[in-house]
C-alpha cells in the first residue's frame, strides 16, 4: 500500500484525559469549582496554563504528556489526541516571585496586592488568595508591619536560601525515587540489580537545580548555581580531529583496489536488471522516427560535406 496518509491538524477537543491530585476535587467549599487560569510563566515570561482549586486556596500546574501516535478510547468514544494532562500542586511563590523582583528594583517596601498586578494576566492577583502565599512571602522578602498593613521588599539573599532548600528537598526526592541523574543515557525501565550509588552529590545537585530552573527566570537560575557553588558548565572544547595523514613507510605502495579487471577483454558492462515503473512505460513508447538524445551531441553527419 503506497497511499500517502494526510495528517489533519488536531481538532480542538472539549474533553481531556486528566490525572489530578486528590486535593483538586476535594473542595472544602462546595460552590468553588477548580478553574484553569492563564498566568505568566516565570521561565518563558509568556502565558502558561495553571489551575486554581478550592476557592483559589491551592495552585496547580498543568503539564501534558504528549507523544506522537497516541489516541484515547474513552467509554464509547475515541479521542484523537493521546494527551494526558497532569494537574499537580505547585508552590504559588514561584509565580509571585517575578512580580516581587520587578518591584524590588525600586527598592521600596510595598503592599503585595499592589505588586502582584499584571494587565496581561489579571488572574495573577488570585495567587494571593492561596493559603500558602501570604504565609510564605517571608521566604523571599523582607517584611514590615505598620498597623494592620504589611509591606514587602524582595530579598535576593532570602530567595537564594529558599531556593537552596528547594534544591535540597528535590535532591532527597530524587534519591528516594531512584531517578537516574547521571550524564549517560539510561532507560528508566531498566531494572538494576545493584542500586546505583555512584552518582556524585554534584550530579544530584545539578539535576535538582535544573528542575528548579523550570520555575525560575534564567537570571535567578544562574544566581542559584553560584549560590550552590556549582561552577557553570562550559561546553567541552572541540578537540581537533586526529590528522588523517598516513604514516610514511618504506614499504612499496600498493593500490587499495584492483581496477584491472575492468580493462580485460571479456569484461562487459551488464545491462541494468530492473527498470522503474516510469522507465518501463517510457520504454514502451513508440520511438520510430525519433532521434536519440545522443545524436544531438555527435559530430555533424558527413552527408553535408559534399
Partner 1 sequence: MDLSPFETDNSVSCRLVSQIPDVCKIEDCCLGIDEAGRGPVLGPMVYGICFCPVSKKEELKGLKVADSKTLTEAERENLFQKLDEARNYVGWALQILSPNTISTSMLQRTKYNLNALSHDTAIGLVQYALDSGVQLKEVYVDTVGPAEKYEEKLSQRFPGIDVTVRPKADSLFPIVSAASICAKVARDRVVKGWNFTEDLGEVDTDYGSGYPNDPKTKAWLLKYLDPVFGYPQFVRFSWSTAQTLMDSKAVTVHWDDDDEDGEKAAHRQHNRSMLSYFSASAGGNDQNPNHQTHRFLTERRLKSLDTL
The grid cell for 153 is 521588599
Contact map string, positions 160 to 179, toward partner 1, x by CB under 8 A = -------------------x
- Nearest CB to partner 1, comparing residues 46 and 146: 46
Q: Three-state SS for 52? A: strand
- Nearest CB to partner 1, comparing residues 73 and 297: 73
Please pick, from the candidates 23, 27, 32, 48, the single residue that binds partner 1 as defined by CB under 8 A: 48
CB of 34 vs partner 1, minimal distance in Å: 13
CA 235/CA 237 separation, integer angstroms: 6
Which among 146, 158, 135 has a CA at the least distance from the CA of 111? 146
CA 248/CA 246 separation, integer angstroms: 6
The grid cell for 276 is 522503474
Q: Is the dihedral of CA 117, 122, 123, 126 positive or negative?
A: positive
Contact map string, positions 56 to 95, toward partner 1, x by CB under 8 A = -----xxxxxxxxx--------x------xx---------
Q: Please report whether residue 119 would count as binding partner 1 according to CB under 8 A.
A: no
Contact map string, positions 207 to 236, toward partner 1, x by CB under 8 A = x--xx-xx---x------------------
Contact (Cβ atoms closer than 8 angstroms) between residue 63 and residue 88: yes
CB of 234 vs partner 1, minimal distance in Å: 15
CB of 61 vs partner 1, minimal distance in Å: 8
Which among 47, 129, 49 has a CA at the least distance from the CA of 86? 49
Q: How many beta carbons lie within 10 A of that of residue 26, not counting itself?
A: 10
Residues forming the site for partner 1 (CB under 8 A): 1, 3-8, 16, 36, 38, 41, 43-49, 61-69, 78, 85-86, 179, 188, 207, 210-211, 213-214, 218
Amino acid at each position: 500500500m503506497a497511499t500517502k496518509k494526510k495528517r489533519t491538524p488536531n481538532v480542538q477537543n472539549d474533553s481531556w484525559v486528566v490525572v489530578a491530585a486528590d486535593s483538586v476535587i476535594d473542595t472544602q467549599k462546595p460552590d468553588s469549582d477548580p478553574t484553569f487560569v492563564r498566568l505568566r510563566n516565570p521561565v518563558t515570561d509568556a502565558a502558561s496554563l495553571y489551575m486554581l482549586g478550592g476557592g483559589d486556596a491551592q495552585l496547580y500546574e498543568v503539564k501534558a504528556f504528549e507523544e506522537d501516535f497516541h489516541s484515547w478510547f474513552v467509554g464509547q468514544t475515541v479521542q484523537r489526541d493521546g494527551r494526558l494532562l497532569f494537574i499537580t500542586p505547585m508552590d504559588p511563590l514561584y509565580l509571585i516571585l517575578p512580580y516581587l523582583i520587578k518591584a524590588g528594583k525600586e527598592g521600596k517596601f510595598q503592599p503585595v496586592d499592589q505588586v502582584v498586578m499584571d494587565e496581561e494576566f489579571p488572574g495573577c492577583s488570585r495567587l494571593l488568595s492561596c493559603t500558602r502565599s501570604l504565609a510564605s512571602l517571608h521566604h523571599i522578602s523582607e517584611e514590615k508591619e505598620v498597623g494592620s498593613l504589611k509591606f514587602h521588599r524582595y530579598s535576593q539573599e532570602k530567595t537564594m536560601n529558599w531556593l537552596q532548600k528547594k534544591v535540597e528537598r528535590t535532591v532527597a526526592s530524587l534519591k528516594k525515587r531512584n531517578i537516574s541523574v547521571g550524564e549517560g543515557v539510561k532507560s528508566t525501565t531498566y531494572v538494576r540489580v545493584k542500586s546505583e550509588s555512584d552518582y556524585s552529590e554534584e550530579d544530584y545537585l545539578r539535576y535538582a537545580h535544573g528542575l528548579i530552573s523550570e520555575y525560575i527566570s534564567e537570571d535567578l537560575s544562574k544566581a542559584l548555581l553560584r549560590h550552590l557553588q556549582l561552577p557553570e558548565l562550559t561546553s567541552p572544547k572541540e578537540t581537533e580531529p586526529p590528522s588523517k595523514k598516513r604514516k610514511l613507510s618504506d614499504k612499496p605502495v600498493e593500490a587499495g583496489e584492483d581496477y584491472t579487471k575492468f580493462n580485460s577483454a571479456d569484461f562487459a558492462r551488464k545491462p541494468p536488471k530492473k527498470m522503474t515503473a516510469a522507465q518501463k512505460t517510457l520504454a514502451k513508447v513508440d520511438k520510430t522516427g525519433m532521434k536519440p538524445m545522443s545524436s544531438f551531441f555527435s559530430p555533424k553527419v558527413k552527408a553535408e560535406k559534399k
